[in-house]
Amino acid sequence: MPKYRNDVDAVLRALADPTRRAVVERLSRGPAVVSDLAAPFAMSLPALLQHLRVLQEAAVVTSEKSGRVRTVSLRPGALDVLHLWLDEQRTPAERQADRLGVHLARHPQKENIS
């Protein structure tokens, strides 16, 4: 499944940088214009735009220009591919614990009254 692997690769590379992660954390609260996104970082605007480009190429964010203002948003479901990959890495012991949890939820233990 090369597309899936490429998507996982792009998202993980995008998130491996702390500045890009901070941008994602900010955008998880709502869309923001580029100048507001840049404000907390001690870096030039071109450097920040380069980070935004990596996030956009990884399809983690989208952006829209209205007049001279560009607004950046977290793409809905952008991180789903990573949730999926993480779920696949559960070990046999973790899967067994999950199944036990489902079983116990479906069949609550009767209390022993003695």
Q: Name the residues that contact a copy of itself, by CB under 8 A.
A: 5, 8-9, 12-13, 15-16, 18, 21, 24-25, 28-30, 74, 76, 79, 82-83, 86, 88-94
**Quick one: which H or E segment has residue 55?**
helix 45-57
Based on CB atoms, which residue is closest to a copy of itself, 45 or 83? 83
Q: Is 42 left (phi over 0), alpha (psi -120 to 50) or beta?
A: beta
Largest separation between any pair of C-alpha atoms in the chain? 76
Task: Report residue 114 as tokens.
Answer: 């003695």
Measured from the CB atom, the residue of 91 and 114 that comes closer to a copy of itself is 91
Q: Which of 48, 74 has the CB closer to a copy of itself? A: 74
